[in-house]
Structure 1
Amino acid sequence: MNFKKIAISLIFLLTISWLGAVQAQQYQISLLTCDPGEEIYSSFGHSGIRVTELTTGRDVVYNYGTFDFGAPNFVLNFAGGRLDYFLSVSTFDRFIAEYDYFQRSVREQVLDLNEQQKLDLIRFLENNYLPENRAYRYDFFFDNCATRVRDALATVLGDQLVWNDAVREPVDMSFRGLIDEMVYFMTWSDLGIDLALGSRLDKDATPLEEQFLPKYVEGAFARAEIQGDGPTRLLVEKSRDVLKFEKAEGAFGAINPYWIFWLVALIFTAITFLGFKKKKLFVGFDVAFFGILGIIGIVISLLWIGSEIPSTRYNWNILWAFPGHLVLAIVLLKKTIKPWVLKYLLFALIMADAAVVFWILGWQSFHPSLIPLLLVMILRTNYLYYNVGKFKKVV
Structure 2
Amino acid sequence: MKKIRLWLVCMWLAVFNVLHAQQDSLQISLLTCSPGTEIYSLFGHTALRVQNFSRNLDVVFNYGMFSFNTPHFIYRFIKGETDYQLGVIPYVYFEAEYAERGSSVYQQVLNLSAEEKQTLLHLLTENYLPENRTYRYNYFYDNCTTRARDQIERCIKGTVVYPDSFPNRSFRSIVHEFTVGAAWGELGIDLCLGAEADTPIDKRQQMFSPFYMKEYASGAYIIGDNGQRRPLVLKEEKVVDVAPAETHSSFLSPLWCATFLLAISVLIGWWQWRRNKICWIWELLLFGAQGIAGCIIAFLFFFSVHPTVGSNWLLILFNPIPLLYLPFMVYFSVTRRKDWYHVVNMVYLTLFIVIFPFCLQEFNLTVLPLALSLLVTSASHVLVLSKKQ
Distance 1:158 1:77, change over 3 A: farther
Distance 1:317 1:80, change over 3 A: same
Distance in 2 of aligned mates of 1:248 and 1:69: 23
RMSD: 2.2
Residue 158 of structure 1, CA deviation = 6.4
Per-residue CA deviations over 1:3-43 (Å, capped at 9, x if unaligned) read xxxxxxxxxxxxxxxxxxx9651310100000010101111
Alignment equivalent of 1:373, drawn from 370, 374, 381: 370
Alignment equivalent of 1:204, drawn from 193, 196, 200: 200
Q: What residue identity is the alignment partner of 1:272?
A: G
Partner of 1:148: 147
Alignment equivalent of 1:173, drawn from 165, 169, 174: 169
1:292 matched to 2:318? The reply is: no
State the 4+ residue runs in structure 1 displaced beyond 6 angstroms: none
- Is there any run of 5+ residues in structure 1 with no aligned partner, and where? 1-21
Partner of 1:190: 186
Residue 282 of structure 1, CA deviation = 2.6
Q: What residue identity is the alignment partner of 1:122?
A: L
Per-residue CA deviations over 1:357-386 (Å, capped at 9, x if unaligned) read 553124212222222111112222233234
Helix, strand or coil: the match of 1:69?
coil
Partner of 2:242: 245
Partner of 1:91: 90
Structure 1 residues 230-239 or 152-161, which shifts more? Answer: 152-161
Partner of 2:326: 329
Residue 178 of structure 1, CA deviation = 1.2
Contact 1:317–1:355, Cα closer than 8 Å, also in 2: no
Distance 1:199 1:388, change over 3 A: farther
Distance in 1 of aligned mates of 2:321 and 2:249: 33
Residues matched between the structures, number? 366
Partner of 1:117: 116
Contact 2:291–2:319, Cα closer than 8 Å, also in 1: yes
Residue 327 of structure 1, CA deviation = 3.4
The within-5 A match list for 1:1-395 is 24-157=23-156, 159-164=158-163, 166=164, 170-228=166-224, 229=226, 231-247=228-244, 252-334=249-331, 335-336=334-335, 341-342=339-340, 344-388=341-385
Q: What residue identity is the alignment partner of 2:266?
A: T
Contact 2:217–2:233, Cα closer than 8 Å, also in 1: yes
Q: What residue identity is the alignment partner of 1:58?
A: L
Distance in 2 of aligned mates of 1:362 and 1:246: 41
Helix, strand or coil: the match of 1:38?
coil
TM-score, normalised relative to structure 1? 0.86
Contact 1:64–1:145, Cα closer than 8 Å, also in 2: yes
Contact 2:111–2:234, Cα closer than 8 Å, also in 1: yes
Contact 1:79–1:303, Cα closer than 8 Å, also in 2: yes
Per-residue CA deviations over 1:267-308 (Å, capped at 9, x if unaligned) read 111222232233233332222111100111011111222222
Distance 1:387 1:159, change over 3 A: farther
Per-residue CA deviations over 1:321-340 (Å, capped at 9, x if unaligned) read 2211123433232234777x
TM-score, normalised relative to structure 2? 0.88
